[in-house]
């Protein structure tokens, strides 16, 4: 895995409480892993959607 960088984010207390519950139940080892996983999934979804939209444009249409 590449070197990690630290960033700051502000989250509502409700999200923090929910993350703490997942950590407490052993679903994730820590909050950081929850946030990394959520970002990975969001990026995969968004990038897939962009690729799908780009492919749906017929080849004869110039961009």
Res 48: pLDDT: 84
* C-alpha R_g of the chain: 18
Per residue, the 3-state secondary structure of 2-52, as one string, reads CCCCCCCCCCCHHHHHHHHHHHHCCCCCCHHHHHHHHHHHHHHHHHHHHHH
Q: What percent of the chain has pLDDT over 90?
A: 68
Q: Tell whether pTM > 0.85.
A: no
If one counts every other C-beta atom within 10 angstroms of the C-beta of residue 19, the result is: 20
Q: Give per-residue pLDDT as tens, 16-46.
A: 999 999 999 999 999 999 999 999 999 999 8
Res 2: pLDDT: 78
Asked if the model's pLDDT at residue 52 lies above 90, the reply is no
Res 50: pLDDT: 83
């Amino acid at each position: 895995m590449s070197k990690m960088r630290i960033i700051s984010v502000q989250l509502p207390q409700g999200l923090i409480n929910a993350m703490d519950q997942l950590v407490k139940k052993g679903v994730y080892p820590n909050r950081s892993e929850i946030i990394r996983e959520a970002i990975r999934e969001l990026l995969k979804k968004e990038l897939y959607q962009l690729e799908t939209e780009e492919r749906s444009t017929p080849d004869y249409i110039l961009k």
